[in-house]
Amino acid sequence: MGGFMEDLRKCKIIFMIGGPGSGKGTQCEKLVEKYGFTHLSTGELLRKELASESERSKLIRDIMERGDLVPSGIVLELLKEAMVASLGDTRGFLIDGYPREVKQGEEFGRRIGDPHLVICMDCSADTMTNRLLQRSQSSPPADDTTKTIAKRLEAYYRASIPVIAYYETKTQLHKINAEGTPEDVFLQLCTAIDSIF
Ligand code: AP5
Ligand code: MG
């Protein structure tokens, strides 16, 4: 644990929050290429855990199928394990889809540390819905219908307002206009990230 904290001090930690379809995954891929960060998406970590059929996976399967939030202790455990696995070999962590509730941010701050930057991908519900519908047409399994998308969006808005308010006073919060082309959005992100290096 001592070694973990020491190595961690040399790394930048960036949180990227934003609704489903706001482009978090798309942009993180581009940022990894430019800055050499390690990209950790809590959604991806949870899907990997499900596929492993572990004891933990039994606890989270139903919750994820409903589109609800997985208990924060499990998410933080998975995140920390993934961070330990790539520590010493990275310039920083780009943590996508986290925190989804204030409690997650508080726990991360206590157990690991506060992030250097929090990015919020601002995108209208219409744009996010259209992108997800388009994706579900082109890449089966098509689990995103108008109804399930509306549910995910509602859950996002409900949870994100207090999270944004929490970081507004605590650390650097950058709101990014995520409506534009992937290139437009990427340029804004680079400006925000360059400001912390
Ligand atoms: P997660 O996997 O995080 O899903 P999500 O955030 O709901 O949505 P996506 O990953 O689909 O969207 P994205 O913003 O990454 O967009 P993308 O770049 O893919 O979470 C899944 C589930 O896991 C949750 O519902 C929850 O149950 C659980 N979970 C996850 N984290 C948790 C946590 N911290 N605590 C508890 N539970 C948790 O882009 C989408 C589409 O749009 C693509 O087709 C892309 O090509 C297109 N696109 C992207 N950008 C643009 C652009 N600028 N212009 C045009 N098209 C674009
Ligand atoms: Mg994603």
Tracing tokens 């995108």 back to the chain, one arrives at 123
Query: Which of the ligands is closest to the CA of residue 120?
Result: 1
Helix count (H) and strand count (E) of the chain? 9, 5
- Going by CA atoms, what residue is nearest to atom 28 of ligand 1? 43
User: For the chain, which residues score pLDDT lower than 50?
Assistant: none
Burial of 193 (0-12, 13-18, 19+ CB in 10 A): buried
CA-to-CA separations, 160 to 7, 31, 145, 157, in angstroms, rounded: 30, 23, 22, 5
How much is the pLDDT for 88? Answer: 84
Q: Is 24 in the pocket of ligand 1 (CB under 6 A)?
A: yes
Pocket residue to mutate for ligand 1, from 70, 137, 181, most atoms within 8 A of Cβ:
70
Residue 6: what pLDDT?
A: 86
> What pLDDT score does 140 carry?
62
Q: Are 112 and 8 in contact (CB under 8 A)?
A: yes
Q: How far is CA 58 from each of CA 40, 55, 126, 145, rounded to the nearest angstrom?
A: 22, 6, 34, 25
pLDDT of amino acid 2: 62
pTM (2 decimals)?
Answer: 0.94
> How many whole angstroms separate alpha carbon 192 and alpha carbon 189?
5
CA distances from 186 to 97, 131, 191 (A): 17, 17, 9
Q: What is the model's pLDDT at position 151?
A: 87
100 lines ligand 1 (CB under 6 A): yes
